Amino acid sequence: MSNLINVPKNGSLSNTNSNLNFPSWSSWIDEIFNRDLPSVFSSNFNTGITLPKVNIRETSDAYFVDMAVPGMKKSDFEINLEDQLLSISTQANEENEYEDESFTRREFGYSAFKRTFTIPETINEEKIKAKYNDGILSIHLPKKEEAKQKPPKTITIS
pTM, entire model = 0.58
Instruction: Count Cβ neighbours within 10 Å for each residue of 67-90 and write b for 16 or more, e otherwise.
Output: bebeebeeeebeeeeeeeebebeb
Alpha helices in 36-151 (DSSP H): 39-42
pLDDT at 108: 74
- pLDDT tens series, the chain, 158 aa: 444 444 455 554 444 555 555 556 656 555 655 555 444 444 444 444 478 899 999 998 999 999 999 888 888 899 999 999 999 999 877 777 777 777 777 777 777 889 999 999 999 999 999 999 999 999 999 999 887 777 888 889 98
Which domains, ranges and CATH numbers included, belong to the chain?
Answer: 50-147 (2.60.40.790)
**CA 48 – CA 115 distance, rounded (Å):** 15
pLDDT at 39: 45
The total of other beta-carbon atoms located within 10 Å of residue 63's CB is 20
**CA 51 – CA 77 distance, rounded (Å):** 14
Phi (first) and psi of residue 26, to 5 degrees: -65, -40
